[in-house]
Copies of this chain bind each other. A is one copy, B any other.
């Protein structure tokens, strides 16, 4: 772990020269011999600049924090992968955290934001977290991008073609002659939830089918809550013959509920879920899904973060790759 000064001493030059050589300063005039001598010593000593010192001067850390709800959810994993790749390409590393850190984790994140520990923040909105953290980030001028959430107050965001996806899935069910199509939505109040419900509604209206609010039920993106919501929905609306499930994880719970209520899938209850994951093909009834560009979502979020503010024109960026329906046995 040599320092600049040590390298400089070895090479018989000043630290300034070493620094400028390492950073390829074009304005540095230097003789070929000195240059090569310095480079040689840098190479064989394996010198790497101390990050703390570099950050202190430059006010850049090379770190981007990515906050998602749940790292065990494969949907978020795919987003993470995209973000990771984009960040690596830009010379940044990703610092990931999720809600599982609890208050300690949140405190850690706040410290990171406040103390200029990160160059940027990609945040999947979450009621409790967002308010505090966003306020801090704004105050500290830490560039921030929201993932799958539009707050509307000029905050940059990256979203998926949610309405499209929901419409596509619903249309598929309509094409298969279903008349009473329910919607198992994600958590109430989130903008992407609303967008998906809107897509479902749009498809139904276009086909002249009924679509009132009693066909909608909210659920968290977990298996247990999907099961609960589906049970309630099927009991209150027994005529339903098909379901658009806005999250692939809650879809698993929903399928279990349908089965346990004696419904055959897809004969008595067809199911289409949003987001494709490899597992979908291995469910007890292989699940028809609408694939969304999750990897791109992660990638674009990072790219958006790094374009100078306002340069992109739009505050909310929709990942443009179109959703795609993958037909399996559940419909």
State the A residues within 8 Å of B (CB).
1, 46, 48-56, 59, 61-63, 70-74, 77-78, 80-81, 84-85, 87-89, 91-98, 100-102, 104-105, 107-112, 114-117, 136, 139-141, 223, 252, 255-256, 278-279, 282-286
Which residues on B sit within 8 Å (CB–CB) of A61? 51-52
A72 touches B63 (CB 8 A): no
Select which of B77, B88, B115, B285 is within 8 A of A50 by beta carbon. Answer: B115
Pair B93/A95 contact, Cβ less than 8 Å: yes
Name the residue among A110, A279, A286 with the largest chain B CB count within 10 angstroms.
A279
Report A279 CB to chain B, min CB distance, Å.
5
A-B residue pairs, 10 tightest by C-beta: A72-B77, A48-B114, A52-B55, A88-B104, A88-B101, A51-B115, A51-B117, A52-B56, A88-B105, A96-B96
A221 CB, nearest partner CB in chain B, Å: 12
Chain B residue with Cβ nearest A104: B88
Excluding A71-B84, A77-B77, 11 further A-B contacts by CB distance (< 8 Å) are A49-B115, A72-B74, A73-B74, A74-B74, A74-B77, A85-B100, A94-B96, A95-B95, A255-B282, A282-B283, A282-B284
Contact at B91–A108, with CB atoms within 8 Å?
A: yes
Residues of B close to A63: CB separation below 8 A: 63, 95
Main secondary structure of the interface of A (DSSP, over half): helix
Contact B84 A78 (CB under 8 A): no
Contact between chains at A102 and B88 (CB < 8 Å): yes
State whether B73 touches A112 (Cβ < 8 A). Answer: no
How far, in whole Å, are A88 and B105 apart by their CA atoms in the complex?
5
Given A81-B71, A114-B46, A284-B286, A94 and B94 touching (CB < 8 A)?
no
Bound together, the chains give a CA A139 to CA B52 distance in angstroms of 19
Alpha-carbon gap, A8 to B46, bound state (A): 40
* A284 shortest CB reach to chain B, Å: 5
Given A81-B100, A93-B109, A95-B94, A256 and B284 touching (CB < 8 A)?
Answer: no
Give chain B nearest CB distance to A112 CB in angstroms: 6
User: Do the beta carbons of A51 and B116 come within 8 Å of each other?
Assistant: yes
B81/A77 in contact, CB under 8 A: no
Q: A1-B141, A56-B56, A282-B283 are in contact. Are A48 and B115 (CB under 8 A)?
A: yes
